[in-house]
Amino acid sequence: MVAFNRVILAGNLVRDPETRFIPSGTAVTEFAIAVNSRYRSKATNEVKEDVSYFDIVVFGKMGENCAEYLSKGRPVLVEGRLRQRRWEADGVKRNKIEILADNVQFLGGPRGSSAEGAPASAPATEAPDDDIPF
């Protein structure tokens, strides 16, 4: 039997990332994103909006980068897989579906930039005319 578990989501952080370290010293960063979707109601022909919230878990250096550079409201693209966590609290069995991220892409401009939707880029430098080899 073939199994496939892959998720790609784009959304905005609903809270600042939180990082902890497991005994091996590996960083574990957690945050949540909101993903908006629109649809047209067949009954009223009205455009409706729906928001879904997803918990994201990121390990290692990528998680540390998320904690350093991301904050509430920032747009991201997350690629990963679904993971079901199970535990027991006060005699009650609980479970939670979360996304274990393989890749997190920071969208929008640098933090605090006025061009929020524009990609960050390094300033172009011009080569002096006397350094051109031809």
- pLDDT band, residue 112 (cuts 50/70/90): low
- CATH placement of domain 7-101: 2.40.50.140
Q: Where are the alpha helices (DSSP H) in the chain?
A: 60-69
Nearest to 6 by CA among 63, 59, 61, 83: 83
Q: pLDDT category, 33, cuts 50, 70, 90?
A: very high
Q: How far is CA 76 from CA 21, 113, 129, in A?
A: 23, 16, 41
Please tell me whether residue 112 adopts helix, strand or coil conformation. coil
Domain boundaries, the chain: 7-101
Q: What is the mean pLDDT of the chain?
A: 85
Q: Which residue has the higher pLDDT, 45 or 104?
A: 104
pLDDT for residue 109: 73
Please say if the pLDDT value at position 127 is more than 50: no
Q: Model-level pTM?
A: 0.76
